[in-house]
Amino acid sequence: MTDTFSGLGLSSKVTDAVAAAGYTKPTEIQVQAIPHLLEKKDLIGIAQTGTGKTASFVLPMLTLLEAGRARARMPRTLILEPTRELAAQVSENFEKYGKNHRLSMALIIGGVSFEDQNKKLDRGVDVLIATPGRLLDQFERGKILLTGVEILVIDEADRMLDMGFIDDIEKICSRLPPRRQTMLFSATMDAQIERLTKKFLKDPVHVHVSRAASTADTIDQKLVRVSAKPDERRAALRKRIDAAEGLTNAIIFCNRKRDVATLARSLQRHKYSAGALHGDMDQKSRMETLDAFKTNKLTLLVASDVAARGLDIPAVSHVFNFDVPVHAEDYVHRIGRTGRAGRSGVAYTLVAPSEEKNLDAILKLIQKPLEWVEEPGSGRKTEKPETAEQAEPPKARPSRRRKTAPAEEAASPVAAAKAEPVKAEPRPEPRRRDKKAEDISEAEAADGPFGSAGPVPAFLLRSTRAS
């Protein structure tokens, strides 16, 4: 394993830009992938998030693009990203590492006017970074010709499939020239991705830096028991934030977009520096919030899984899973926002009793036991704190049930019914009891229906014909 970027075969312009960015030693995925990519081989790169996958295809791409020139509406390279944020981040990497090159670049994503994008495409671009939906829109409008693409990159391939982009990717690949170099990068690998690689890659080189769906050893992962009640869950999160050691900033992930907005407002009401990021926000608001978090104007970023994949914010100290992810693979990507580039990080996951099934799937995927952090009011059955009265020795409490004297018990209608079976008789309609009837004692009630011990009138003993 080489210790320098110059030993990987990159051009001097690229290595100078990397050195200016402050990087001296390549990561394992970069060491294994870059030499093959410089030889123009197809490649499948599987590595856990935060290991430098973006630079592993950006750096050799810049070297390969030094020869040649772009033509109008015919990009030379195409990079597909699942989200706008990831696409914008890759464009920042090209600007940083390609500052010594005179290469043109266009960012084709939703939420931006077509007119601005069309102006760049008409001049011709060397690098086209796009989300699948907007790219197909521009293609159908006749603004892009894909027949000149020499290099295709499918980044975060598993996320592409999760978001339902498989059909769009197949449409795009069918419009590309067959003679091209294709790179596919992902943190996880499943059967659908394998099918995709067999269809669109030719004799690819497989680079596996770590076991698929593994988590970085630099991340301290903990579990917190919480109640399923939203207000108690939010209170438990605030306690954990306040108790976290060395917290400089943190990303808090929610499963639902509406919970992102609700939680962000709740944290703001409790005087926390927090902002929200989810897919229903307009592009300008999303970028402003992300920039504020990157520049430390915001301490807490409450986000949906739109921020879980590939966002490179190196100094994130903590990650909080407000909800247990529904898909186990999302857990790997979420906590991968911390502990990046060799730094240490901490990840807390709040777990309600109803979410233990999802937790079991995560533990099975990562194959690593996680430590529980006990929280008061976590929803588990715990003893209530003693009051002053409860602290005294318990006294024998008299029974509320009145003990019936033996004579009364014998004379009781209930006792008589138990002792002697009664023939079935038509039951008279029950009469409404009044105050006087309630005041009659049990002994008086046992004498007879008229309060005397005499015989029952004959007209009450006559049988009645059922209608």
What pTM, to 2 d.p., does this model score?
Answer: 0.61
Name, in order, each residue with C-beta under 8 angstroms of 132's C-beta and a sequence gap of 6 or more: 80, 160, 165, 168, 169, 172
Element containing residue 239 per DSSP (H, E): helix 230-243
111 or 272: whose pLDDT is higher? Answer: 272
Residue 422, pLDDT above cutoff 50: no
Domains of the chain, each with CATH number or no CATH: 6-208 (3.40.50.300), 219-373 (3.40.50.300)
For the stretch 209-239, pLDDT in tens is 865 566 778 899 999 999 999 999 999 999 9
Question: What is the reported pLDDT for 388?
Answer: 34
Is the CB of residue 147 less than 8 Å from the CB of residue 178?
no
38-42, 198-202, 221-225: segment of lowest average pLDDT: 198-202
Question: What is the reported pLDDT for 408?
Answer: 43
Taking every pair of C-alpha atoms in the chain, what is the biggest distance, in angstroms?
124
Question: What is the reported pLDDT for 464?
Answer: 62
Torsion angles phi and psi, residue 71, rounded to 5: -115, 160
Report the pLDDT averaged over residues 197-218: 82
Helix axes 84-97, 53-64, angle to 10 degrees: 50
Question: What is the reported pLDDT for 380?
Answer: 41
284 or 138: whose pLDDT is higher? Answer: 138
For the stretch 308-367, pLDDT in tens is 665 667 689 999 999 999 888 889 888 988 887 678 899 999 999 999 999 999 999 888
Residue 431, pLDDT above cutoff 70: no
Residue 268, pLDDT above cutoff 60: yes
Burial of 420 (0-12, 13-18, 19+ CB in 10 A): exposed
For the stretch 364-421, pLDDT in tens is 988 888 999 865 444 443 333 333 333 334 444 444 444 444 444 444 444 444 444 4
Residue 49, pLDDT above cutoff 80: no
Residue 264, pLDDT above cutoff 60: yes
Burial of 166 (0-12, 13-18, 19+ CB in 10 A): middle
296 or 68: whose pLDDT is higher? Answer: 296
Element containing residue 347 per DSSP (H, E): strand 345-351
Average pLDDT, the chain: 80
The rounded distance, in Å, linking the Cα atoms of 84 and 133 is 11
Element containing residue 442 per DSSP (H, E): helix 442-445
460 CB neighbour count, 10 Å cutoff? 9
